[in-house]
Amino acid sequence: MNIIYSEVSKQFHLFNEEVSYIFKVLHNGHLCNLYYGSKLNHKDDFKNFYFESDLGATSYINDESKISFEYIRQEYSTFGCTDFTEGSYEIVQKDESYITDFKYKSHKIYDGKNKISNGDLPATFSNGDVKTLEVTLFDDKIGCELVLNYSIFKNKSVIARSTVVKSLKEEIKITRLMSSTVDFEGDNFELLQLEGAWIRERHIEKSKLRKGKQSIYSLRGCSSPQHNPFFALGKGEIKEYTGEVYGFNFVYSGNFLAEIDVNHYSNTRVNVGIHPFKFEANLKKGEVFETPEVILSYSNKGLNGLSQTNHKLIKENLMKNYELPPIVINNWEATYFDFDEQKLLNLAKKAKEIGVETFVLDDGWFGRRNDATSSLGDWYVNENKLPNGITGLCKKINDLGMNFGLWIEPEMVNKESELYKQKPDWAIQTPNRNMSQGRNQYVLDFANDEVVEYIYEKISNILNSCNISYVKWDMNRHITEGYSKTLQNQGLFYHKYILGVYKLMRKLTEQFPKIMFENCSSGGGRFDLGMLYYSPQIWTSDNTDPVDRLNIQEGTSIAYPLRAISNHISVAPNHQTGRKTPISMRANVAYFGCFGYELDLTKNDENELKLFKSQIEFYKKYRNLIIEGDFYRTTESGIKNNYCWQVVSKDKKESIVGAYQIKSETNELRKVIKLVGLNKDTQYCVTGFQQTFFGDELMNVGIPITKYFNGVSMNFEDMKESVENEGVYGICDYSSQIFLIKAI
Ligand code: DGJ
C-alpha cells in the first residue's frame, strides 16, 4: 500500500494491490476526483483522466476557465458555486452567507491513523497496516480549515474517510458535514441496500439507480432496523462472483444519511454522513468538529469479494475485543419475565449437561420488573426473584462450571421506577410537550453527561459485584421529542446522545476488558460498525425462526462477518412466526455465526437433549473454522427457495457447507450444490460420499444430491427421523443439511 503525491501534476494516488484512488488539485486550488477502482500502475501524471468541457447552459467559476462543478467530479463539494446540489457541507457565516472557497493548503502522509475526536468516536485502527493522507483546505475569508482524511489498508481494498472542520478566525455554523463524497463517472449502477423492520431486519433489496436523488437514512436516534447504514453500488448488475462493486458503511450508530444523486451528465454522487436534518454545530474561534468515519470498500470479484473484504476489515481493524464467541443459553424465550433463582438454575444445569458454556440472564432481574411496564433505570437486583442477588446466582452458575452473562438496557427508564421519580427530567422530552412512549419506556438523556456518569456508576457496580463474563446490552425504543435541557444548541442533540452512548461503552469496555459485550436493539436494530467497535457480536434478530433467519442472516452477511452474527436455537412452533421447523434446520442455520440456545431445556426430552449435545460438540469442533474461515454465499444472494452457505479455512483444507430448502420442489431430477473457494487440484472427501472429489469438480459441477424421496420409491415415514434429527437437504419443506469437506 502506498500514497504518492506528484508535485508536478498535483495528483494524489492512494493504492494497494487491489485498489487505486486518484484525485488532483485543480489550478484553482479545488480538488477533483480522477479515478476510483481496480489498481492502476502508478504514473506521475494521469493526464488523460482530467478534462474540461465547454458545455451549453451551465456556469463556470470564472471567465478564464471552463471549470464547472456541475460536471467536474469533486472530492468534497459545496452548493452555490456552479454546483447546484446540496453538496458535501454547508458552513453559514456571521452575515448568514453560505458561500465558501476552500482551496488546497497542505497535506500530510503518515503511517498509521489517528483516532477520531481523540477516541470519542469509534473508528478503524491500524495494526501497522494503514497509511493516512490528510489534505488541508483553507478558506481565507472566514479563516477556516477543512481537513479531508483518507486511510488506505494493506491487503484490503478499503479506504476510510472522515472530515474535520477547524475554525481559526470567526464563529461559523455548520449545518451539513458529510464524512465523504465520492463522485463516479456514469450512472449504470445497481444499488443494494439492507432494509427491514423489527423481526425482519436486513433483507436485501436491489434497484437500478435513476436520475435524481435516492437515499437511505435514519432519523430515529439510532442506525435502525429500517435502513442499515451499509449499501453497495455495482457497475451494471450486482453479481455474487463477478463485476465491480463499491461498498459504503458508516462507523456510526446515530442519525445518518446515505445519499445518491445521479445528475444530468450521468455522474453519480455518493454522500455519506450524519443526517443534516436537525443537525447544527456552532464553532467559535479555535473549535473543531470531526465527523465519524465512512468505510469505502471495493471489489472486482462481485459482491462476495466485497463481503470478504468487509469481514476481514471488521475483524482485524475494527473489533476491539475480538475472540471466539462462547456458546450461550439465554433465558428470554425460555422464561420471559417469569423466573426465580431455582428455575434459572434448573435451566443452567440442563444447559451445562449438554455442553453450553455461558448462561445469560435476560430482562427482569432488577427493580420490581415482572413485565415491560416498570423498573428500567433501577439497576439493583429484584430480591423477590433472586434472594441471593446477582452475586449469589452468578456464583452458583460458576459452580456449575459455566460462565455468567447479564442483560442490561442502560439507555432507558420507565415512568414506573425510582429513577424516574427522582429524576423525571432525565428522560428525553421537549418541555411542555407530550412525551411519547415505546414499550412503556423512555430514553434517558445521554446528551447530558451527568446521566451517563450516573448510569456508569450503577452498571459498573453490578459488573464489579461478581464474576460476569458477558453482557447483553439492549436498546428497545427510538427517540421521540428529541431535546436536551442541558444543551444550548439543540442542533447537536442527536449527535451528543450517541456520543454519550459511546462514552458509556468506552468506559465499561475499558474497565472490564474481559467481559464480552453483545449488542442488541430489539434484536438487530442497531447493527452497525459503531456498535461492533465495542461489542464484537450483535443479537441478529428477535426472530429466531430459521426460515426467516435465512434472509436475515444472508442479508447481514453481505456487510458483517459471522463473528458478529448471533444466532440461537429456539422452540417450534416458533414464538415469532408460529412455524414448525425441524431441530436440524434450526441448528444448521444457527451454526453460521455465534451459536446458542434460547428455549426451556427442562422441557426437552432425552432424545432432543442428545441432539443438542451433538450440535454443541459440532460447533465446538468447528467454531474456529466458522468464525475465522472465509464465508461464501454459493448462490446469488437474495430471497429464494434454496440457500447455500459455505465457510472455507484459510489453507483451503476444510470447509463446511450448509444447504437449505424452504419449500419442497416436486418431481425434481436432482439437486447439485456448486461449491466455491476450494483448491482446484486438491482431492476432498465429502460427508455422505464414499468417493473423493477434486476441488475443480466440486466448484464446476458440484455435490450431486440424489432425491431420497420422490413419492414412489420410499416411504416418507422412514425419512422423517433423519430429517428432524440430522437434516437431509432437499426432500421436504424446511429441509437442510451440513456437509463437511476435507482435503485428503
Ligand atoms: C429485546 C431483545 O431483543 C430480546 O432478546 C430480549 O432481550 C428483550 N428485549 C428483553 O426485554
- Per-residue pLDDT of 182-237, as tens digits, reads 999 999 999 999 999 999 999 999 999 999 999 999 999 999 999 999 999 999 99
> Is the bond into 573 cis (omega within 30 degrees of 0)?
yes
Ligand 1 centroid vs 523 CA: distance in angstroms?
Answer: 7
* Percent share of the chain, pLDDT over 70: 98
Question: How confident is residue 666, by pLDDT bands cut at 50, 70 and 90?
Answer: confident
Q: Which atom of ligand 1 is nearest to the CA of 598?
A: 5
Give residue 400's pLDDT.
Answer: 98
Residues 520, 248: Cα–Cα separation, whole Å? 22
Ligand 1 centroid vs 584 CA: distance in angstroms?
Answer: 25
Residue-wise pLDDT for 148-157, tens only, equals: 999 999 999 9
Q: What is the DSSP letter of 53?
A: -
Helix (H) or strand (E) holding 654: strand 654-661
HSE-CB at 549 with a 13 A cutoff on CA atoms is: 31
Ligand 1 centroid vs 142 CA: distance in angstroms?
Answer: 50
Residues 37, 15: Cα–Cα separation, whole Å? 10
All cell numbers assigned to 59: 456556469
Give residue 705's pLDDT.
Answer: 86
Q: Which atom of ligand 1 is nearest to the CA of 372?
A: 11
| Ligand 1, pocket residues at CB < 6 Å | 332, 362-363, 407, 474, 476, 520, 522-523, 539, 542
- Residues forming the active site: 474, 542
Ligand 1 centroid vs 233 CA: distance in angstroms?
Answer: 34
For a pocket test of ligand 1, which of 517, 539, 575, 598 has the largest count of ligand atoms closer than 8 A to its C-beta? 539
Q: Evaluate if residue 570 carries a pLDDT over 90.
A: yes
- Expressed in angstroms, the distance from the first to the final Cα of the chain is 37
Q: What residues contact 248, with CB distance under 8 A and at least 6 apart?
A: 230, 231, 232, 233, 258, 270, 272, 294, 295, 296, 297
Give residue 713's pLDDT.
Answer: 57
Question: How confident is residue 718, by pLDDT bands cut at 50, 70 and 90?
Answer: low
For residue 665, which amino acid is it?
E
All cell numbers assigned to 513: 476488558
Ligand 1 centroid vs 372 CA: distance in angstroms?
Answer: 10
The residue written with cell numbers 467497535 in the block is: 533
For a pocket test of ligand 1, which of 472, 474, 518, 598 has the largest count of ligand atoms closer than 8 A to its C-beta? 474
Question: How confident is residue 601, by pLDDT bands cut at 50, 70 and 90?
Answer: very high
Ligand 1 centroid vs 373 CA: distance in angstroms?
Answer: 14
Ligand 1 centroid vs 635 CA: distance in angstroms?
Answer: 32
Q: For atom 10 of ligand 1, which residue has the closest CA? A: 363
Query: Across the chain, what does the average pLDDT equal?
Result: 96
Q: For atom 11 of ligand 1, which residue has the closest CA? A: 363
For residue 325, which amino acid is it?
P
All cell numbers assigned to 307: 463481503
Q: What is the DSSP letter of 319?
A: -
Residues 273, 445: Cα–Cα separation, whole Å? 23
Give residue 164's pLDDT.
Answer: 98
Q: Which residue has the higher pLDDT, 151 or 639?
A: 151
Are 287 and 174 within 8 A, CB to CB? no
pTM of the model: 0.97
Residues 454, 375: Cα–Cα separation, whole Å? 16
E-strand ranges in 452-592 read 468-473, 516-519, 537-539, 565-569
Helix (H, G, I), strand (E, B) or coil at 461: helix
Q: Which atom of ligand 1 is nearest to the CA of 407?
A: 7
CA proximity to 707, closest of 723, 690, 731, 689? 731
Residue-wise pLDDT for 531-560, tens only, equals: 999 999 999 999 999 999 999 999 999 999
Q: Which atom of ligand 1 is nearest to the CA of 439?
A: 11
Residues 141, 169: Cα–Cα separation, whole Å? 9
Are 569 and 330 within 8 A, CB to CB? no
Strands 630-633 and 642-648: antiparallel
Residue-wise pLDDT for 5-30, tens only, equals: 999 999 999 999 999 999 999 999 99
Helix (H, G, I), strand (E, B) or coil at 416: strand
For a pocket test of ligand 1, which of 200, 201, 222, 362 has the largest count of ligand atoms closer than 8 A to its C-beta? 362
Residues 553, 248: Cα–Cα separation, whole Å? 19
Q: Evaluate if residue 708 carries a pLDDT over 80.
A: no
Q: Which atom of ligand 1 is nearest to the CA of 542?
A: 3
For a pocket test of ligand 1, which of 198, 375, 518, 520 has the largest count of ligand atoms closer than 8 A to its C-beta? 520
Q: What is the DSSP letter of 517?
A: E
Residues 529, 534: Cα–Cα separation, whole Å? 9
* Percent share of the chain, pLDDT over 90: 93
Q: For atom 6 of ligand 1, which residue has the closest CA? A: 332
Q: Which atom of ligand 1 is nearest to the CA of 539?
A: 3
Ligand 1 centroid vs 466 CA: distance in angstroms?
Answer: 23
Q: What is the DSSP letter of 432?
A: T
Question: How confident is residue 709, by pLDDT bands cut at 50, 70 and 90?
Answer: low
Residues 193, 205: Cα–Cα separation, whole Å? 5
Query: Taking residues 333-355, what's their average pLDDT?
Result: 98
Residue-wise pLDDT for 229-257, tens only, equals: 999 999 999 999 999 999 999 999 999 99
Number of other residues whose CB lies within 10 A of the CB of residue 512:
18
